[in-house]
Structure 1
Amino acid sequence: MTEAKNNSPLAVEIAGVPFNNPVLTASGTCGYGLDMAELIDLNKLGGICTKGLSAKPMRGNAPWRIVETHGGMLNAIGLQNIGARAFVEEKLPALRGYDTRIVPNVFGSTIEEYIEAIEILETGDGIHAYELNISCPNVKAGGASFANDARQAAAVTAAVKKAASRPVIVKMSPNVTDVAEVARACEAAGADALSLINTAIGMAIDINTRKPRIANVTGGLSGPAIKPIAVRCVFQAFRAVRIPLIGIGGVGTTEDALEFIIAGARAVQVGTANFYDPTATMKIVDGLAAYCAQHKLANIGELVGTVQV
């Protein structure tokens, strides 16, 4: 199903793709989408960003891989996934039956690996866009993250754009000196939209064993603790680029979603909140509709970037 309910006050368009509403699941928090089908109405979601997919299956890191923190959680899953081919053959057919947008998250450790994964996904029907996780280490550049260098971020974006027939959404990292610089580089390289932010790098230590609480030593910090950072990044990116933005990082309530939208995001992704409240996305969709009615907004887009500074 591909037609958005464009008469709805929540209908939004990102990179030419119509979304029924601006609420998506964030990559890595709902598996491949079907995992949540028994808990929420997937038809009510604006979109599903799948767990990260690579060209070949990956086993991920050794345990422990997740630890709770104050106001969030650390994870170092290691990008475990079934691979792009298995997704196309085993997951995508069922996902196509829902009235929501399907956005596979894609990653690689070289530009060639990104392209290989995209080429596999291109064989599948019903995909609406791709989200690129560029926070992965580039093994051909000494292990530095693609996202941490504007030139590398632009290079992987440009390469994927050449291989993809669908819109490309580039996921920004907060672990950079100037997120606006990287955002501009990705836009210039052809990115159709940006999503931000990915997790921040964090660490937790067991005071009794004096060892890291995650086997990987460090992990990605997500949840309410990073929301102020994420809102700031969206605010800065909105003033740096003209392409649409999707806000991520600590979205768990309607108020959180509205804060991102007012900062400049056209849509939001809900991640860590799915673990402690699987119905969070449904509540946010309802809450945004109520807000539009209360404030007599014809469309939620009227709020985008309206922060007064």
Structure 2
Amino acid sequence: MPDLSVTLNRLRLKNPILVASGTFGYAREMQAFVDFRKLGGIIPKTVTPHPRAGNPPPRTVETSSGMLNAIGLDNDGIETFITKHVDYLTSLGTAIIANIAGTNVDDFARMAERLTQCPGLAAVELNISCPNVSCGVDLAQNPDAAFAVVAAARKACDFPIIAKLTPNVTDIVSIARAVHAAGADAVSCVNTFQGMAIDWRRRKPILGNTIGGLSGPAIKPLALRCVWQVAKAVPIPIIGVGGIATIDDVMEFLVAGATAVQIGTANFYNPAGSGQLVDQLDKTLADLGVERVTDIVATLQDGRPFACQPAAANP
């Protein structure tokens, strides 16, 4: 059977299929649908230093081939996460990657340090890119701010650090370079795209927060582009995120340069899908005669870096 294990610097996973933060709850909600032991890892919903009520409703809107959400990081805070959820999560037989968000560098550092008291965790993902709250998104839009957050978290704990990047920037490569220089073990590429939905008859936005994050199949081509650009430019493992629902989606992200992938929006309409993808990946690699999943990572042919061509001289 093919070897499905992957390594993202200091983080080793049994296979590259993860479930994305915010789409899998704290796993209890999904136990009737998924054999957690089959997954490469689980990333539970984002936690913050203190409880958050989240944004006013409506919080979700279906769109063409996707979904807008403006949940606003609704959670009970890191202390409740540690006392109520960590023991259960770390008993599930797969890697648990905590996801944290704060309003400033000190928040991230304190939370990362607090998580050192949870030795069963496998890694920490820094949510510096949530598009529907006033905190977090700006930290991943600026290389210096992104560097500062990752460096502080790296200093505060010994867990592998994953920086979750935003696509809502002009140049995602510059952000990836910054977090790599700060000591990130890997990047998640990417979070949701900012968008909105309007009820034109009432002349009002549909989401209570006006702006939300677009996810689902609609963003897959954009997320693939981001993964490919970062893989070409930065020597750091990538976890591909964005519209992944089928085995073809998984294979496209791996070939583009991702070492692992996260399943997000698809969990809402096919909660058993992540486990199914592990089986399908095994079969697909066996059919190809590939011995290790890592053998197909970043194997895209003729993937030349994009560059603006000089304008032709006037005749």
Q: How does 1:100-249 map to 2 (within 5 A)?
A: 100-136=94-130, 145-249=138-242
Partner AA of 1:183 in structure 2: A
Partner AA of 2:171 in structure 1: D
Q: How does 1:289-304 map to 2 (within 5 A)?
A: 289-304=282-297
Give the counterpart of 1:48 among 33, 42, 51: 42
| Identical residues among aligned pairs (%) | 47
Whole-angstrom distance in 2 between the partners of 1:142 and 1:81:
15
1:34-53 per-residue CA deviation (whole Å, 9 max, x = no partner) reads: 22112111111110011011
Partner AA of 2:85 in structure 1: K
Instruction: Provide the residue aligned with 1:308 in structure 2.
Output: 301
Runs of 4+ in 1 over 3 A off after TM superposition: 141-144
Cα distance 1:249–1:192, how it changes in 2: closer, same or farther (>3 A)? same
Whole-angstrom distance in 2 between the partners of 1:152 and 1:76:
23
Asked whether the 8 Å contact 2:2–2:286 carries over to 1, the reply is no
SS of residue paired to 1:9 = coil
Partner AA of 1:117 in structure 2: M
**Structure of higher CA gyration radius:** 2
Deviation at 1:207, TM superposition (A): 2.5
Deviation at 1:17, TM superposition (A): 2.2
Whole-angstrom distance in 2 between the partners of 1:292 and 1:255:
12
Asked whether the 8 Å contact 1:23–1:47 carries over to 2, the reply is yes
Partner AA of 1:57 in structure 2: P
Instruction: Provide the residue aligned with 1:37 in structure 2.
Output: 31
Whole-angstrom distance in 1 between the partners of 2:130 and 2:69:
14
Give the counterpart of 2:12 among 15, 18, 27: 18
Deviation at 1:12, TM superposition (A): 1.0
Asked whether the 8 Å contact 2:130–2:192 carries over to 1, the reply is no
Deviation at 1:301, TM superposition (A): 0.5
Gaps of 5+ in 1: 1-6
Whole-angstrom distance in 2 between the partners of 1:16 and 1:159:
18
Asked whether the 8 Å contact 2:127–2:136 carries over to 1, the reply is no
Asked whether the 8 Å contact 2:96–2:122 carries over to 1, the reply is yes
Asked whether the 8 Å contact 2:241–2:261 carries over to 1, the reply is yes
Deviation at 1:136, TM superposition (A): 5.0
Whole-angstrom distance in 1 between the partners of 2:130 and 2:274:
27
Matched residues, number: 301
Whole-angstrom distance in 2 between the partners of 1:16 and 1:143:
25
Q: So what's the TM-score if we normalise by structure 2?
A: 0.92
Whole-angstrom distance in 2 between the partners of 1:144 and 1:101:
26
Asked whether the 8 Å contact 2:218–2:243 carries over to 1, the reply is yes
Deviation at 1:162, TM superposition (A): 0.6
Cα distance 1:75–1:142, how it changes in 2: closer, same or farther (>3 A)? closer
1:268 correspondence with 2:241: no
Whole-angstrom distance in 2 between the partners of 1:11 and 1:61:
38
Give the counterpart of 1:88 among 74, 82, 93: 82
SS of residue paired to 1:147 = coil
1:97-135 per-residue CA deviation (whole Å, 9 max, x = no partner) reads: 222100011111111111122122221131000001112
1:154-185 per-residue CA deviation (whole Å, 9 max, x = no partner) reads: 11111111111101000111001111111011
Instruction: Provide the residue aligned with 2:65 in structure 1.
Output: 71
Asked whether the 8 Å contact 2:102–2:136 carries over to 1, the reply is no
